[in-house]
Chains A and B, each alone.
Chain A
Amino acid sequence: MRLFPSEASSVAPEVDHLVLFLIGLSLIFIVLIFLPLVYFAFKYRRGTKADRTPPRLAQWKLEVTWSIIPLLLMMGVFAWGASLYFHIERPPADAFEINVVGKQWMWKVEHQEGVREINAIHVPVGRSVKLVMTSQDVIHSFFIPDFRIKQDVVPGKYTTEWFNAAKPGSYYLFCSQFCGTDHAKMIGRITVMEPPAYESWLASNSSGGTLAVAGAKLFTELGCSGCHGANSKVRAPKLEGIYGKPVPLEGSVFQIADDKYIRDCILQENHLHVAGFQPLMPTFKGHASEEELMELIAYIKSLGRTNPEEDVNLEGTK
């Protein structure tokens, strides 16, 4: 019978340390409260000959002591928990991305290399992985107990979650936010592999182009290139190099062109428009699935690469 889940990620031992500290602190409080409670209950039980002369306690001093000491302890625990939280919530810069789309009741996973999986993720050991997640229906939550991480997967936006797997093996992946009838079946497996095994797994499973290639294809199919392409007649902004940079919008505001921004440009009718352009872009709401949106984003991202070794622009506009 296990009492602790295995520590299979880089943050797992850190969370366990905090929790063990909290268990220790709780035990101290339990002793401090229960010992006098039991002792008084025994010593002063009715009928015993105990000294019951009204105590002269310095009430204010006692009250202040047992308010201030817990308060200070709480602040310490707060600070520890908070710094760990920032560590858990913020992916390191060198993490590589995997896309996750939740739906009732399965997890759809897309690797940048184009490999697709359902209710399973394969990752290499010892490398930071950042999951970019969204849901196509209700809220789900992506929970890997052995990694001590969890993040809600919310429709209409992208949330991220990162880990660095510490031990090869196979671990549970649960949906932890109630999402309807088969919530309990929204379980998957995460397989952590040694890097060579992972490379060969990738090679033997990739069926075609990368996500960016798929995105490039969509870019033409949906007609984006008709406006955003080099030879277009419509005055539309060039998308090369915008990813991750601030974009000047109408009313002299700037917004970073991240995943959510591009997503909103494609889907929302009334988003803020790029400064100096007519609001000509139609909404593609209902024409692109969550996976396709992620592919388009992957493509626009790839346009920004300074070293265009994976220049996949089908139109040869570069």
Chain B
Amino acid sequence: MNAIELEPSPALQEEEPGNYLSESHTVASWLLTTDHKRIGILYLYSILFFFIIASFAAATMRLELLNPQGSLVLSETYNKLFTIHGVLMVWFFLIPSIPAVLGNFTIPMMIGARDVAFPRLNLLSWYIFIGGGLFALYSIVSGGVDTGWTFYTPFSSTYSNTHVIAMAAGVFVAGFSTIITGLNFMVTIHKMRAPGLTWFRLPLFIWSLYSTSLIMVLATPVLAITLALLSLERFWGIGIFDPKLGGDPVLFQHLFWFYSHPAVYIMILPGMGVISEIIPCFARKRIFGYYFVAFSSVAIAVLGFLVWGHHMFVSSQSVYAGLIFSLLSFIVSVPSAIKVFNWTATLYKGSISFETPMLYAFGFIGLFTIGGLTGLFLASLGADVHLHDTYFVIAHFHYIMVGGMVMAFMGGLHYWWPKITGRMYPEFMGKIAALVTFIGFNLTFFPQFLLGYLGMPRRYHTYPPEFQIFHILSTAGASILGVGYLLPLIYFIYSLRYGKKAGPNPWRATGLEWQTSSPPPKDNFLRTPVVKRAPYDYSPFEEEHPQNV
């Protein structure tokens, strides 16, 4: 009853062949590996490291904001904290999270390949990423940067006295790692698919990562150019953005958002892809509207390039430009809505179970929907004038980035954990953590919508006392959210040793990655699989005669 049939009978799994982890244990075997699975794990450790630093920055800010006068840190420090938080979370955690960790690990297996198209380039991409990270860390350790992750000029280019160039260099360098990864994924998806795996037999996760890669390759160079121009002005005083030198400060914003709005989709499309894998599996249903879900990813990737000006409605750009950017921003919301409707329709007449990945998927739909709907408030010109640069914006994008992408990342990590490690995580603890994360998240960020509408501007280290109650709620939520992230860290480590053996396919999933042992052998498959059917060949009845993969 498999969607995919291996040429030889799958009895081969029983004798536990050597796997990609047991193959060699030396440090060099990790640092010089070209195995996409090991590189995925290298990325996992690296982004975890940056996530922890960025979370500490956030925690310190939340503590600081308990008090309207701000007694914990100086304003200089506060400004550096939110810059560290933003830069590290965006470029060193979110952007590589699902693509470079889960994508690296699963793409070749999901398409029945032995590795990505350019394995050595893949390793190079990780080294470049670490190189960028070192620049960023240097800039933090040597005193920090106070521009915010948006680096607006002429503050960043002329007025700030902090280590802007080092930080910009970090982001610049890390960008090349993104470009290379995107390129590698695109070529891999084009060229390395197993026999019979046509485009419309691809899992939707692949479609979403393909669209993401498109954005990575096309948008990231613009960021590199922008940061290079910023550094030119800062270092040599070449007038580009500072009006005192004959430049135009709003030009910077156009360039920055021309990259950064598409980058928002780098930070959500992969999450949508993960959800499209989890829901059919735990609902035992074929995905509803495969073509619509697939093409909505592509539509988002393309339209995402045309809406950057919605970050600039009050920047002094022309009101007519504002009109067009607002119109296109409303239009780009439709493909996202289509996905949500199709996921919901997939559940209809399914056979639904609620293991941890599915709980995260439900959490994703809930939080992403709220994030998306509040995006309409910001796309609406008349309302955005009031809401822009307030906590409303902060709440909105955290609902998308954390409520969406991080929930999906956690869901995906739980879903593929058995494949990655060969062990199950403790299910009960998993469910508790998913629930705690959901509650903590809402308590942290929902009050910020109210705070924003009341007029609390973002990036304020001190604030009028009437806003305090909302900040207290938010900080309380953040503490709960912290527990929600700490729990998986503990039980994942625990499961490496004590988790029960997963077997090749604990979820009875249909993807190719589940048709090989867990953890997979170095070359993924002992023989190249041949695909004969469409993906998600699930049936709600199969529990009566369970699959014997």
Which A residues are within 8 Å of any B CB, using their own CB?
1-5, 14-15, 18-19, 22, 25-26, 29-30, 33-34, 36-37, 40-41, 44-46, 50-55, 57, 59, 62-63, 66-67, 70-71, 74-75, 77-78, 80-90, 104, 137-139, 141, 143, 145-146, 148-152, 154-157, 159, 172, 174-185, 187
Contact = CB atoms under 8 A, between A and B. Distances in A.
Contacts of A18: 380, 382-383
A74 B347 contact: no
B450 interface: yes
Interface in B382-411: 382-386, 388-390
B366 interface: yes
Nearest to A178: B459
B257 to A, nearest CB: 14
Top 5 nearest A-B pairs (CB, nearest first) are A145-B455, A156-B243, A84-B382, A81-B380, A85-B381
Interface string B240-258: 0011100011100000000
Most buried by B among A36, A84, A141, A180: A180
B344 interface: yes
Contacts of B543: 46
B525 interface: no
Contacts of B242: 155
Contact of B75 (A15, A150, A182): A182
A46 B352 contact: yes
6 contacts: A22-B380, A86-B319, A89-B319, A139-B155, A154-B316, A155-B244
A70 B337 contact: yes
B155 A178 contact: yes
Contact of A2 (B158, B374, B454): B454
Contacts of B461: 183-184
Contacts of A30: 369-370, 373
Interface in B432-475: 450, 453-455, 457-464, 466, 469
Contacts of A40: 344, 347-348, 350, 352
Contact of A78 (B365, B366, B380, B466): B380
Contacts of A182: 75
Nearest to A104: B159
Nearest to A83: B382
Nearest to B319: A89
Nearest to A38: B362
A29 B362 contact: no
Nearest to A151: B314
Contacts of A59: 288-289
Contacts of B376: 22, 25-26, 74, 77
A244 B195 CA distance: 72
Interface stretch (B8-16, B146-154, B165-173, B213-221): B146-154
Given A34-B366, A81-B326, A82-B382, A141 B453 contact: no
A5 B366 CA distance: 28
B377 A19 contact: yes
B389 A143 contact: yes
Given A80-B380, A155-B244, A143 B159 contact: no
Contacts of B243: 155-157
Contacts of A143: 389, 455, 457
Given A84-B383, A183-B75, 14 more contacts: A2-B454, A37-B344, A52-B351, A67-B338, A74-B330, A74-B334, A78-B379, A81-B380, A138-B158, A151-B316, A156-B248, A178-B155, A183-B461, A184-B459
Contact of A180 (B146, B288, B462, B464): B146
Contact of B314 (A15, A55, A150): A150
B386 A44 contact: no
A82 B381 contact: yes
A57 B345 contact: yes
Interface string B307-340: 0000001111001001100110011011001101
B502 to A, nearest CB: 20
Interface string B506-545: 0000000000000000000000000000000000110100
B382 A80 contact: yes
Contacts of B19: none
B466 to A, nearest CB: 7
A74 B344 contact: no
Contact of A53 (B333, B342, B349): B349
Contacts of B460: 183-184
A88 B348 contact: no
Given A46-B353, A59-B288, A52 B155 contact: no
A26 B319 contact: no
Nearest to A50: B349
B49 interface: no
A76 to B, nearest CB: 10
Contacts of A45: 352-354
A245 B381 CA distance: 31
Interface in B140-190: 146-148, 150, 152, 154-155, 158-160
B377 to A, nearest CB: 5
